[in-house]
Amino acid sequence: MKTADLSYLGFGQTAVPININKIRLIEEAIHNKEGRLTDTGALSVNTGKYTGRSPEDRFIVDNAASHDIVEWGEVNKPFDQDKFDKLYKKVIDYLNPKHLYVYDGFAGADRVYRMPLRVVTDKAYQNLFVNNLFITPPMNQGIHPEFTVIAAPFFKCVPEVDGTNSEAAVIIDFDKRVVLVVGTQYCGEIKKSIFSIMNYRLPRYNVLPMHCSANMSDDGRTALFFGLSGTGKTTLSADPNRRLIGDDEHGWSENGVFNFEGGCYAKCINLKRELEPEIWDAIKTGAVVENVVYDEEGHADFDDTTFTENTRVGYPLNYISNAVIPSVGNNPDTIIFLTADAFGVLPPISKLEKNQAMFHFVSGYTSKLAGTERGVTEPETTFSTCFGAPFLPLPAGQYADLLGKKIEENDCDVYLVNTGWIGGKYGTGERIKLPYTRAMVNAAVNGKLKDVKYVHDDIFNVDVPTSCPGVPSEILNAREQWKDKDEYDKTAKELAQAFIDNIQKYDNLSEEIKSAGPTID
């Protein structure tokens, strides 16, 4: 078995085994009391206090590699280099006497643009997780890691000494090419730290990093699906008639689309086999399940939110029967932006030209529903830059310009699909039926909306088809679904104004992009 000399990182250990096989990792995790086996053979773990990402604890070291490049602000908070170096030494000293696990692999299925990476941790279950989520090379292939993640889930920072926000921290140093993930057991922090690095790294090669899912037809026609949580990104991209390239993170190069990952990190809340059979069947030996409630016999209750609603499972792509492996696709000919508009005013589907697409890409709109968070009593507009604000180190304009360039080069059709409400706001209207949304998406990706008649929506400044196979034509006109047309107009203009106000905060966008969104007379 290959071993790693970790002395270059400051460790005293010079022969740590690399990429231990999964069965042994499971055995060691159970022996170490990190988790337990379920009735399906998956490893169940509880991540304690942190059951999701902790945005307030994420930092980027302010140094020569980042100072003039990173878009500093609430998302990308600067961390002092001297404080990082001192904290780094404390973490290494903490881990040095422990039994360590090393994983070597790649982020990126495209051999030209993939990034070699290393993850060092003292927990077997985290090693198993990254083995599932990243792309593992053959046993005889050595790599030279470009970035290293050092994870110490039980190390606790001292904010007043270490300069962190709490006992937990995720800190990226683009100069030293290392990430500290400390004080949190949640595996998603490791996954998303690598995604942030890819978002920093790839634009210099004219590759667009994307927070989206992707699938393709048997004849190679590729589609991208962008959307925030609750918009249907995973559901709509999981099409039995198309092959899954990936469910979350991709790059778009001149060669086509490629998955950053070698696995999936799926939500388990309210999981039912009849609705999501691919995820259900993937929870088997080798999978890592986080924060799901299991009984003494190892049976799961996926509806139980005792630990969190953000229950998760990590598993390799080859657990999905129709996955594309290696996970690469052609240049896409269709892009779908998904939004769940709880105000009930956006058209169920509309077509976007290039600047409109760049506008909605940067906006990353959906709406937060009443009752989903304490104090939320009415639908609230939610904007997330490029559908992935927490993971974007660079200014939004750089990603938007890349998207516009690739849409133009590949003559892509771009659609905005509202998976939310029609006939009124949340509480008075009704959610668009999923079969109708599926029919719209299928028509879009199969080129059946290219030659239909369109009408212009003057408020949202988009073109709306008057017909779509499998969808009643009256459904396509959002305004006509409202009984009170004056109330529709009022609500639509309020949402349009929110779009206009949001886009103004992006100083680095061209006026052509800013003016391509909704308008109010």
Q: Which domains does the chain have, with CATH numbers?
A: 3-20+58-205 (3.40.449.10), 334-514 (3.90.228.20)
Told to judge if 177 belongs to the known catalytic residues of this protein, a careful annotator would answer no
CA 202 from chain centre, in angstroms, equals: 16
Told to judge if 234 belongs to the known catalytic residues of this protein, a careful annotator would answer yes
Please tell me which residue in 136, 164, 196, 234 is annotated as part of the active site: 234
Q: In this structure, what are the phi and psi dihedrals at residue 486, rounded to the nearest 5 degrees?
A: -65, -40
Please tell me which residue in 201, 211, 242, 360 is annotated as part of the active site: 211
Please tell me which residue in 22, 53, 242, 243 is annotated as part of the active site: 53
Is 60 exceeded by the pLDDT of residue 377? no
CA distance 124 to 161: 30
Told to judge if 211 belongs to the known catalytic residues of this protein, a careful annotator would answer yes
Is 60 exceeded by the pLDDT of residue 373? no
pLDDT tens-place string over residues 180-239: 999 999 999 999 999 999 999 999 999 999 999 999 999 999 999 999 888 888 888 888
Please tell me which residue in 22, 312, 360, 368 is annotated as part of the active site: 312
CA distance 108 to 249: 9
Told to judge if 312 belongs to the known catalytic residues of this protein, a careful annotator would answer yes
pLDDT tens-place string over residues 419-435: 999 999 998 999 999 99
Please tell me which residue in 248, 401, 413, 457 is annotated as part of the active site: 248
Told to judge if 242 belongs to the known catalytic residues of this protein, a careful annotator would answer no
Told to judge if 248 belongs to the known catalytic residues of this protein, a careful annotator would answer yes
In this structure, of 85-89, 135-139, 339-343, 378-382, the range with the lowest mean pLDDT score is: 378-382
Which residue type does 342 have? A
Please tell me which residue in 90, 233, 243, 368 is annotated as part of the active site: 233
**For residues 304-336, b (16+ Cβ closer than 10 Å) or e, as one string?**
eeeebebbbbbbbbebbeebbbebbbbbbbbbb
Shortest CA distance to 69 belongs to which of 199, 255, 229, 210? 199
Is 50 exceeded by the pLDDT of residue 372? no
Please tell me which residue in 192, 201, 242, 250 is annotated as part of the active site: 192
